[in-house]
Amino acid sequence: MQMTIRQIYAAMSGCALLSACASVEQAPRGDEAYAIIPPAPAIGADYRLSPDDVLRIQVYHEPDLSLEDAQVNAAGMVRMPLIGDVPVAGLSSGDAADLIADRLGQRYLVSPQVTIFVKKAVGRRITVDGEVREPGLFPVDGRLTLSQAVTLAKGPTRLASLSQIIVVRQIDGERQAAMFDLAAIRRGKAADPEILPGDMIIVGLSRAKAILGGTLLAAPALAAGFIALDGKN
């Protein structure tokens, strides 16, 4: 079947457009890739272990005593070979490693070296409440934006006010809040703020007032930044 002049021109134009586009093999790699999409921040040294956290526990030169997926149980214990249950909840990973090393050194090893890496930090949680389909507590693994946080709760309800998303955060020991426009964020008209462990996200100003009480009545709508709930700026 012969092609018309118009079909030939269209095919040639399509090839030209494809050749001008970068292929997936040409995507940035290494440092250039991380400059575009930064890695999730490491869990800070001040993080305190919590029940259900999953740990990698390495005892130097002792593979039989090391654990790849050690889960902190509901009582805050992690079960180690030889020494049994060790209370680690509420400790930093460094302090927990020192405690395990101390117990191993009391009877079994000479100057043991122990390191702990937090593979899954269930204690890093946020609360999503208000006009969402499934409100609740959700773990934070790596970086999380406001729009992603709302998605964790299965998204807003059909009648939710997307221009009134309240984020409550503890700053210097003081509970503060800011209001964001999720509709504008979704349209790319506003930045998608980062949500931190411990934050509370409430969809809908009326629901926020009901949950937080009258302390939020004076909080203005903010595109960025926070206001203290007691009225202090």
Helix (H) or strand (E) holding 13: helix 5-20
Q: Given this structure, which CATH class describes domain 54-120?
A: alpha beta
Q: Check residue 44 and give its pLDDT.
A: 61
> Does residue 57 have a pLDDT over 90?
yes
CATH of the domain spanning 125-228, picked from 3.40.1260.10, 3.40.50.2300, 2.40.50.140, 3.10.560.10: 3.10.560.10
What tens digit of pLDDT does each residue of 61-95 get?
A: 999 999 999 999 878 899 999 999 999 988 889 99
What tens digit of pLDDT does each residue of 100-158 get?
A: 999 999 999 999 999 999 988 776 788 999 999 999 989 887 678 899 999 999 999 99
Look over the chain and give the mean of its residue pLDDT values, rounded to a whole number.
75
CB 159 within 8 A of CB 131: yes
- The lowest-confidence range among 2-6, 51-55, 149-153, 190-194 is 2-6
Q: Check residue 70 and give its pLDDT.
A: 95
User: Which regions of the chain carry the CATH code 3.10.560.10?
Assistant: 125-228
Q: How far apart are CA 229 and CA 233, in angstroms?
A: 9
User: Which regions of the chain carry the CATH code 3.30.1950.10?
Assistant: 54-120
- What's the pTM value of the predicted model, to 2 decimals? 0.50
